[in-house]
Amino acid sequence: MNLDFTREELDFRQEVEEFTRRELPPNWDNQIVFWPGGYGTIPIFETEFQEVAKEFSLKLSGKGWARLAWPEKYGGEASVMKAAIVGNVLSYNRAPAGGVASSIVAPSLILVASEELKKEFLPKIADGRAGFWLAYSEPNAGSDLAALKTTAVEDGDDYIINGQKIWSSGAHVTEYAWALVRTDPDAPAHKSATLIIIPNNASGVTIKPIVNICDIHSFNEVFFDDVRVPKKYVVGEVNQGFYNVMLALQFERLTIGSGSFRRVLDELIQYARENVRNGRPLSENNQVRRALVDMAIEIEIFENFYWQSVCMLEKGKVPEIEASALKLVFTELSVKLANTAVDILGPYGLLDKDSTRAPFGGRVGIGYLDSISGPIGAGTSEIQKSILATRGLGLPRQ
């Protein structure tokens, strides 16, 4: 296996880097506090960054870069590698791009949805007009998603939806729910649910904010009261929702800001070069040097694993256990990086973003809090390990 980039790929990367530096708003980095691997500090989930995000999405779309991995039939180039290069550069620069619609909904629609749905949604996703949130978790259905209670009952050409979702990231700034609902209460759990698209502006949808540990409104609780949705918005087959969500989850576990760790590492190295503690440059402090080396090695291993998964996708294989392993490594690394950053910066690292003395605009203190969300969202670390034990190692189910 050859993980070297071709000349063409390197040139493309440079083009994307120049575009990103040119198109990001001035001082963008000081406005946001995004932490790699966390779910609570993603700028596109915040109301105040919607305008910037929409403008940036349009520019990306104008370049054709929002749909690079899609088949040519749907306006793409069928190049997972080029899409991953764009994702890597954007995440290094903490750009307000990506999100559920392009990284999870679009690839799932392409694989399982009707042509009618693809025609309606893919163009809107490509230029940022259709944003989505994931409506899976409920107050009593998280890891055990099969316990979900939100119902969809047939009524002529429609379904009538009733129930509650929770931890709904970005529901307040998007247009549609990508929702898992129960369509057959009598069938066994895994053959009773259906994936359906619910417009946020449908009558009976109520979105209530939940402020997260970082004091940011990134997620919500959402109530569906007699919400009428046309049957044509069903994604894939009725009562096959769990299989379709498992597929979408594999994409979610792969949608990680692959370049975002290296950015923090580069910044910490720079900080160690430029700062002095107890009269000595931090860069000469052995504890700091060892911590940076440990991080650099872990990030290198993660990146190799990431590009290996990209190569798999490029060959047309959907990474399954790799997606779980990558999500596990990525989010656990987020916590380790936050701990390392706090160790290197000392007490200053925990200062709030409003403090003038907070290094990196307070990103580390908030990142330290947000890093714990990574190992929970999109299936907890325990659930990923359980998947890896059975599907990866062939151990018996418990």
Where along the sequence are the contacts to ligand FAD (CB under 6 A)? 39-40, 133-134, 136-137, 142-143, 167-169, 219, 373, 376-380, 382-383, 386
Nearest distance, CB of residue 180 and ligand FAD, angstroms: 8
Contact status, residue 387 vs residue 325, Cβ threshold 8 Å: no
Nearest distance, CB of residue 174 and ligand FAD, angstroms: 10
**Which amino acid, 201?**
N
* Residue tagged 């009952």 (tokens): 153
Burial 56-67 (b: 16+ CB within 10 A, else e): bbebbbeeebbb
68 versus 134: smaller Cβ distance to ligand FAD: 134
CA distances from residue 154 to 55, 198, 205, 230, 366 in whole angstroms, order as listed: 39, 15, 18, 10, 45
362 versus 377: smaller Cβ distance to ligand FAD: 377
Nearest distance, CB of residue 143 and ligand FAD, angstroms: 3
Which burial class, exposed, middle or buried, applies to 311 when counting CB atoms under 10 A from its CB (0-12, 13-18, 19+)? middle
Nearest distance, CB of residue 144 and ligand FAD, angstroms: 6
Q: Tally the C-alpha atoms within 13 A of residue 390's C-alpha that lie toward its C-beta.
A: 8
258 versus 373: smaller Cβ distance to ligand FAD: 373
Of 355, 379, 380, the C-alpha closest to 366 is: 355
Contact status, residue 132 vs residue 175, Cβ threshold 8 Å: yes
Nearest distance, CB of residue 375 and ligand FAD, angstroms: 8
Contact status, residue 185 vs residue 151, Cβ threshold 8 Å: yes
Between CA 131 and CA 53 the distance in angstroms is: 11
107 versus 359: smaller Cβ distance to ligand FAD: 107
136 versus 360: smaller Cβ distance to ligand FAD: 136
257 versus 379: smaller Cβ distance to ligand FAD: 379
Which residue's Cβ has the minimum distance to ligand FAD? 142
Nearest distance, CB of residue 134 and ligand FAD, angstroms: 4
227 versus 282: smaller Cβ distance to ligand FAD: 227
Between CA 171 and CA 339 the distance in angstroms is: 30
Round the CA-based radius of gyration of the chain to a whole number and report it: 21
Nearest distance, CB of residue 394 and ligand FAD, angstroms: 18
Nearest distance, CB of residue 374 and ligand FAD, angstroms: 8
Nearest distance, CB of residue 255 and ligand FAD, angstroms: 12
Nearest distance, CB of residue 169 and ligand FAD, angstroms: 3
178 DSSP 8-state letter: E
Between CA 186 and CA 184 the distance in angstroms is: 5
Of 167, 178, 177, 180, the C-alpha closest to 217 is: 167
222 versus 265: smaller Cβ distance to ligand FAD: 222
* Residue tagged 């994931």 (tokens): 134
283 versus 390: smaller Cβ distance to ligand FAD: 390
**Helices (H), ranges, the chain:** 7-23, 28-31, 50-63, 80-92, 100, 106-112, 115-126, 241-254, 260-274, 286-314, 321-345, 363-370, 381-387
65 versus 219: smaller Cβ distance to ligand FAD: 219
- Token readout for 145 is 């998603």
